[in-house]
Amino acid sequence: MNDYLTEPKVWNPETSEFVPVVCDQADHVSRDSVASQLELQRVHLTYKIQKHTLTALRALISEGTLTKTEGLETYNTIADHNGWANIEAITSTYTVEVCYNSDIVLTVSGVEADTEEEATAEVLENLEVDNVRVKFDVSYGDYADEADVWIYDFDPTEDLSAVATEEYN
């Protein structure tokens, strides 16, 4: 285990070294709270390094320097050496929301693509719209009823749009 987690230390710029944290009763700083803050910072830094490593490898793949297989193997080798989880694909994973006239009608998770545009295109190009049904209320004076109509020649695909958001695991 890392020594800085068992005994929290802070950087002293005057001596250019880490020194133990001393609890000052005036500010009620405990070793446990400092240790938990350090652990949170370590987790956050690790996450950022993983994300930037993936971004760099994806850039090398998109410019043709690496293949997707080489990029995946490179990342997993780096992950093994750093105690990170391995990944199964080097591409990004997106959640795509399909909208009809600005209303979300379908959410698709786990769409693998290199960009948001590719993810939305993938979903929209392979989207199937079947069994279009319209429900509405009809009234005239004191008479009212609910209508439930199937429309067979209606194609709403021109009014569909999609928005992709990258999933971070």
Of residues 162 and 10, the one with the higher pLDDT is 162
So what's the pLDDT on residue 156?
A: 78
So what's the pLDDT on residue 139?
A: 92
CB 98, CB 123: distance < 8 Å = yes
- CA 128/CA 49 separation, integer angstroms: 39
Of residues 99 and 1, the one with the higher pLDDT is 99
Give the confidence band of 6 by pLDDT, cuts at 50, 70, 90. low
So what's the pLDDT on residue 108?
A: 95
Stated pTM of the model: 0.52
- Give me the torsion for CA of 97, 102, 106, 112, rounded to 10°: -20
> Can you point out the beta strands (E) in 23-142?
92-100, 103-113, 132-140
- CA 102/CA 99 separation, integer angstroms: 5
Give the confidence band of 90 by pLDDT, cuts at 50, 70, 90. confident
Q: Of 30-39, 48-57, 141-150, which range is least confident?
A: 30-39
* Domain layout of the chain by residue ranges: 3-82, 92-166
Half-sphere exposure of 1 (CA within 13 A, CB side): 8
- Give the residue-averaged pLDDT of 63-91: 91
